Structure formats: C-alpha cells, structure tokens
Copies of this chain bind each other. A is one copy, B any other.
C-alpha cells in the first residue's frame, strides 16, 4: 500500500516541492533587426522550422520594399514582452486608449478586433468571429500605424484587449456591481496578448506612413499582390454538379442568347469520374473527349475552372502513387497527400499538367481545404514529412495554391481560381476565398476585412428567396474580386428572377466596363501591395468611432448586461476612388459614411457630401457607388467577354469633382507572366484645372486602348 501512495502525490506534497517562479525572470523584450525600411524581424527563442511564409514559398518584393520610406520603430519595445514556458510562447503588445486593432484574417461579423478573443484555426466559418475561419491570418494592424505578423503555422490564442493585468499602467477601477450602474463585465484592457504553442516564434513588424502603408509593406513582404488574367475579372458561372458537356454548351448558349457577360464556366464535382474523394480524372460518360470539349469552350471565349478537393480516391490512378506520401488519416476515405514533400508535389503537378493544363483548363476551385473538424483529418494526424495535423491544417490551402500556381507559371499562363483556405503569404497567389455560409451582410464584412490580411474574397451568388435579394447579391458580386454565380446545387441563372434581369445585366456589364479601372487597381496590388478591396478604416479622413449599444439585463439571456459593438462594416473601397455601399434585401435605403473630402454619385456625378453621413435610396436599379473628389475612372465600352477587349478599345475616362487627380492606367497582354519582365504599359491619367492629360510612364507594345474620351461627370 505504501508503494501506491508513494505514486499518488497529494497536493500538499506537491506544494512543498521547490517550485521555480517564472513570472518575471524569463520575460524579455524582443530584439529586432531591420530587414527593409520600416520592416523589422525578430526571432523569439527557438521557433519551429516550418512556418506560414515557408509554406507560402514567396520571397519578399525586395526592390519595392527597399525604396519604401524610412520609419522609426513604431511602438515602445519596452512594452512588447515575451517569454517561453511549457512549450508555449507568450507575446504581449501594448494598447493605448482609443487604439484600434484590425486584421487577424477573414472575419465575417467584425472589422475592429479590439475586445475579441480568437483562436486562429483554419476552419469553415461557423457563424462566430472566434478565429475559426477560412483564413485566420496571424497579422494585425494597429491604428497607431504598425502591424505585426506572427509567422507560425499553429493554432494561436489571441486576446485583443480583453485581459486586464495587475501590473497595468492604466488599471481600470473596480466597481461594485451591487449598486454601481457603471459596472461593466468587461473592464478596460491595455494589452494584446497571445499564446503560440511552440518553443519560440518568428515575428515581423511593419511600420508605415499610415495603416494602408503598413498593409502594403506586409503584402510586399509576402511577395506582393496578385495580378489576375483579364478573363478572371469577367463574369463567372458555376454549373450544376452532374452537368455533362451538352448541358454546359446549352448553358453557354443561354448566356449568349440572353446577352449576359460570361468569361468563365466552372465545372463542379461531376467532371471527376468519382468525387469526395476525387480521382482527378475526367468522367468519360459526361465528358467523352475532354480535350475537344475544352478546345470548343476556348473557341467560344470560355475559360474552364474545375472544382476539386485534394483527397485522393482509391479508385483513381493517383492513389497508389501518392499513398507513400499520405498522412495517417483519410478524408471521406481519400488519402491526404503531404504536399510539403517534393515527390508528392511532382506527382500531382504532372497529373494536372497532363490531364488538365495541357488541354486548356484555366484553373481550379479548391474545396474543403479549410475544415471542418468532422471530416478533415484530426489534429492527431501525422504526415510523412514530420509535420502534424495542426501544421497541415494551417497551411493546406497555401500548399494547394503554390502547387497549382507553379505549373501555370511554368506554362507562362496566369490562372485565377477559388480556394476555401488561406493564410499569411497568400497575397501573391491567384486565389479568391469563398464558402458555404450565405449571410449577405456578413459576406460584405468579409470583403471589408479581406484587405487587411492580403486576402481576396468573393460574395458569390447561389440562390435567393426573392428577386430583390438576387439582384442585391448580383450587384455586390459584380463589385468584388470575382463576380460569380455558383449554381452547383440550385441551377440558378442570371435570369432566374426575370423581374430583375435587366438590372442584373446592367451591373454585370458595368463591371465589364470598369475592367480597365479594376485591372489597373490589381496592378497596384501587384506592384505596391495596395489591396484592391479594402475597409473604410484604411481610408484617410474616415472616422468611425466604435459605438457600444447597451443591451438590457436579462437573467438568462444576458445576465451580465453585455453591450453590443456597432461599427461600420457594410461599405468599402474598390480601388483608390470608388466607395461601394451595397443595399440588401428588403432595405430600400441606407446610411453611407463619407470620409472627409467631397464625394460624388458615381452614376450622375452629382455632389453628395463631405465627411458626413448621408442616406441614399437609389431604388432597385443601382448599387450605391460614390467617387472621391478628383476620381479618374477609366472604362471601356460594354463587352460580354474579355476576349472582345482587344486592340484599340475606345477608352472613356470619367472624372469626378473638381480636385486635381491622377491615376495610373495599366495594361499588358492579360494572360501571361511577361509583365514581370517589363512587358507592360503604364500611363498616368491626370486631371488639373478641369483638363485631362495622359503621360507615358512605362512603355511596351502591350496597349489595348484606342480613342480616348474624357467625361467630366460633375457639372457644377
């Protein structure tokens, strides 16, 4: 019996042991090394070899970063603290009164993250901004003008101004809940703290002239933004899952007959001979001759995009080849290849090239790389490279991006596609995030957030309960990085609601007309890291103080009388000049918060306000869009396909307001990577004193515009 108790340690025996106090002794301030102007790196203790930027596999855009402005270290390093204990690394950053924190990836309900508690974990979106999302990028931007990337492929717990420390410099005062009405369940917190479950971590800290500059440097550090092929910015339509080549042709004919824009057709699981898990082989009954089918599509100006999830069916030719490189667990009984292994990458890439790229497939939609737990590999999974399930979960989207990007790059063909998981370092890859969630307002909040973290997001259109909802969704998808109907399950078409077909068509053609503006905006993403779609908070002169709305006490529903955060999360900037303020189903009017400076109605050119809140009710015909004073918007004529945007396209340059303005119009061949070698043209569009001018910046033969007409929209 004595033996047993010897092994059964009681609390008091435990307490009498010598215990080392670790509270302060091991805490230290990081050491930073400036690697580019305004960019510092720090290595805390012993980080893991594998991390997010390693998985993303893109070097920084050195030339551009090196000519960025010098910046002082933007935060007191005395107040940045860290230590490592029990296999975990703690980090603390100071927060000041009024300081706001943005970023941490693709959130759907919140923009400002102060007050949030997140566990950054790649996953499907479950309806809460709790860190489980398709792209939980561990990068935050402070309104104090700096940003930090935590470069770790781990689930990171983040407490954004929630914890209150005993040693706080500004400790809140305790209140008496018995009688004090000022009592709050969430006292003021002056710090942002994190735990990374690793023996150390690599940090990158970015300064900037303002928050946008911080984001630009982050994007450039991660390789710079993506420039899609021109066709990628046209209209997309994903077809029902079991469509065959005849169904597809009929669908395309429908678009032509109805005169609706269409550049890309997406094939859903039925193109595989088996799906969930996938064979990556064409189904011979539905597509007897894939090469001919693809060529036929191409002849009609249609680019094909193929759905997949990367779990390999035992019934396909890939299975035996990839089995040696598979993880311990299956997904829907398909193996999960470890694409950090060169052998596995090579097998998959060769298959893609032979069976898809060589016959002309334009790209992929890579599904199910996010979650969720009930069918993805569990955290206990192990992979042959030595990585574990958690590291794999955080980076599988990145792995699929790099794997497919490389083969398109080898062909010198740009691709543009969809993916359901991303992370830090995704910015240079041609993939737009989507999901199964479908709240329209939350879709727009995701679009607002995407720009903080180097992400692109599409508010795709699937089904709708009414014509009005359909139209409102069509309007927002046309003002997004990827304009798409996803009819995989419902078989919807642009004309599914005939009562709003005209308006749907109008906004789709408007997107096509705006392509020069949009394409040039993406060029700015590539060259400068400027997010093409971004939050108002990144706009100079935009003030949106957060408002806390008191909620009534209720013993069961709200026993701590928690207040609700109210913030601006339903309007955003598309490029430098256009403010988009979508309307939603059953809402005939809305408030729009205009930053300082004069703003003009995009459609009429009329002055609408300056640094104020306006109410607009444009009816069903229009999505509210506003142009900044000095806005220069290059547009082409209405085209149905980007293949019609060829030599000598007449260029209309719309000008708004009276301020001087300039805009760099960008052009290239639209499809290859030759622009990286200088094969592109940029011209400076300028307006001064009511007169427009065009100035050559970078010259090449790649220039598709012809006659130019200046259109001064604001008459008075």
Contact = CB atoms under 8 A, between A and B. Distances in A.
A9 interface: yes
A437 B86 CA distance: 34
Contact of A178 (B194, B242, B328, B386): B242
B178 A272 contact: yes
A59 B8 contact: yes
Interface in A626-651: none
Interface in A157-194: 157, 159, 162-167, 171-179, 183, 185-187, 193-194
Contact of A374 (B17, B185, B385): B185
A5 B59 contact: yes
Contact of A14 (B15, B35, B49): B49
Contacts of A340: 11, 14-15
A7 B328 contact: no
Contact of A379 (B87, B195, B328, B330): B195
Contacts of A19: 385-386
A275 interface: yes
A21 B167 CA distance: 45
A50 B436 CA distance: 43
A177 to B, nearest CB: 4
Interface stretch (A207-215, A255-263, A331-339): A331-339
Interface string A305-349: 000000001110000000100111111111100001110000000
Interface in A398-453: 402, 436-438
B35 A176 contact: no
A10 B163 contact: no
A494 B499 CA distance: 59
Contacts of A377: 163
A614 to B, nearest CB: 33
A276 interface: yes
A67 interface: no
B328 A187 contact: no
B386 A166 contact: no
A37 interface: no
Contacts of A378: 117, 157, 159, 162-163, 193
Contacts of A41: 7
A281 interface: no
Given A556-B436, A556-B438, A380 B159 contact: yes
A386 B438 contact: no
B380 A166 contact: no
Contacts of A335: 166
B178 A382 contact: no
A375 interface: yes
Nearest to A345: B15
A694 interface: no
Contacts of A1: 62
A242 B180 CA distance: 12
Contacts of A7: 35, 41
A459 interface: no
A90 interface: yes
Nearest to A319: B174
A132 B53 CA distance: 32
A329 B165 contact: yes
A555 B330 contact: no
A54 B462 contact: no
A30 interface: no
A166 B381 CA distance: 10
Nearest to A311: B174
A157 B379 contact: yes
A524 to B, nearest CB: 25
Interface string A359-389: 0000000000000011101111110111010
A21 B328 CA distance: 12
Contact of A4 (B9, B62, B194, B329): B62
25 contacts: A4-B62, A9-B54, A11-B340, A14-B54, A15-B341, A15-B385, A17-B49, A87-B87, A87-B199, A88-B388, A157-B379, A159-B379, A159-B380, A162-B373, A163-B329, A167-B328, A176-B274, A176-B275, A176-B315, A179-B242, A185-B332, A185-B375, A187-B330, A193-B378, A193-B380
Given A166-B323, A177-B276, 13 more contacts: A9-B54, A17-B49, A19-B385, A20-B386, A23-B328, A86-B388, A163-B377, A163-B380, A175-B276, A175-B332, A186-B374, A195-B380, A463-B555
